[in-house]
């Protein structure tokens, strides 16, 4: 029995609110149960040095947590003077995941930065960030197309992400914080709408996992991501 009473293959309640803040080209609040992340997409008409003159654009991400998004207050990274290894790992993952669905040539020489800021955390903040950031990116890209700055749609398809893991011997979908803390194997899966993998990151600090367990987890993830992609589609129609 899961602490949240959910079934093993049941997602938490997901809510995607577009146009959440006013200034960004794309701004989404994504809520996955008690995990809440503001994802904004900012367009800037410049590219990093390695893209200058290439005719291609760039998509990148930054991630942060408000100090009291968590049960215990964390030290503010700006005050500490550096981003933790975990933060950097997550923002690199978000950036790679979003770039997987963007044709950088069609985007043109501009940068879209996805800022994912967790205002309340209850597990799964990195996967919620990816799922929400796609919607924000979609809005930013639509704006560029409406203004005629981008001619052809640079988005190849949808991308979303979910965590899976083995909790008390049972493979479960979409771990919340309580499950995440008690579960040795934890896998984050990033997948396209078409069902191909972009990232698979499985970690077993205490309890190594077998090939069979891995197969089950990948199926669960596929099941969940199918639903998330559908929710993204509906939110973008709304």
Contacts to its own copies by CB under 8 A? 21-24, 27, 34, 36, 38, 40, 42, 44, 62, 64, 66-71, 73, 76-83, 85-89, 91-92, 96, 99-100, 113, 115, 117, 119-122, 187, 192, 194-206, 208-211, 214, 218
> Least separation, in Å, of the C-beta of 84 and its own copies?
8
86 annotated as a binding-site residue: yes
> Residue 218 in contact with residue 232, Cβ under 8 Å?
no
Q: Which residue number, 66 or 149, has a Cβ lying nearer to its own copies?
A: 66
46 annotated as a binding-site residue: no
Residues recorded for the chain: 238
Cα-based distances in Å from 70 to 22, 83, 124:
26, 17, 12
Q: Which of 165, 232, 160, 234 is closest to 199 using CA atoms?
A: 160
- Indicate the pairing of strand 35-44 with strand 111-120: antiparallel
CA neighbours within 13 Å on the CB side: how many for 203? 9
170 annotated as a binding-site residue: no
CA neighbours within 13 Å on the CB side: how many for 73? 2
> Least separation, in Å, of the C-beta of 237 and its own copies?
24
Tokens 């924000």 -> residue: 136
Q: Which residue number, 120 or 227, has a Cβ lying nearer to its own copies?
A: 120
> Least separation, in Å, of the C-beta of 198 and its own copies?
5
12 annotated as a binding-site residue: no
For residue 218 the two structure tokens come to 């990948």
Q: 59: how many CB neighbours lie within 10 A of its CB?
A: 26
> Least separation, in Å, of the C-beta of 209 and its own copies?
5
Q: Which residue number, 82 or 237, has a Cβ lying nearer to its own copies?
A: 82
> Least separation, in Å, of the C-beta of 163 and its own copies?
14
For residue 196 the two structure tokens come to 């191909």
Q: Which residue number, 14 or 234, has a Cβ lying nearer to its own copies?
A: 14
DSSP state of 175: -
Q: Which residue number, 7 or 105, has a Cβ lying nearer to its own copies?
A: 105
Residue numbering of the annotated binding site: 86, 124-126
Residue numbering of the annotated binding site for phosphate: 86, 124-126
């Amino acid at each position: 029995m899961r602490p949240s009473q959910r079934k093993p293959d049941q997602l938490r309640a997901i809510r995607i609110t577009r146009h959440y803040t006013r200034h960004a080209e794309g701004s989404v609040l994504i809520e996955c149960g008690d995990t809440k992340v503001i994802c904004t997409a900012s367009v800037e008409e410049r590219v990093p040095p390695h893209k200058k003159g290439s005719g291609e654009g760039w998509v990148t991400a930054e991630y942060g947590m408000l100090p009291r998004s968590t049960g215990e207050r964390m030290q503010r990274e700006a005050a500490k003077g550096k981003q933790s290894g975990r933060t950097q790992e997550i923002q690199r993952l978000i950036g790679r995941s979003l770039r997987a669905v963007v044709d950088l040539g069609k985007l043109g020489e501009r940068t879209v930065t996805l800022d994912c800021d967790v205002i309340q955390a209850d597990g799964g903040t990195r996967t919620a960030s990816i799922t929400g950031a796609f919607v924000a990116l979609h809005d930013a890209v639509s704006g560029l197309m409406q203004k005629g700055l981008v001619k052809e749609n640079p988005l190849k398809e949808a991308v979303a992400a979910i965590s899976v893991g083995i909790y008390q011997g049972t493979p479960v979908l979409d771990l919340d914080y309580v499950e995440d803390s008690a579960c040795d194997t934890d896998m984050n899966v990033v997948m396209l709408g078409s069902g191909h993998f972009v990232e698979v990151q499985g970690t077993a600090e205490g309890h190594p996992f077998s090939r069979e367990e891995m197969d089950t987890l990948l199926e669960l993830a596929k099941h969940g991501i199918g639903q998330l992609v559908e929710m993204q589609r509906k939110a973008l129609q709304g």
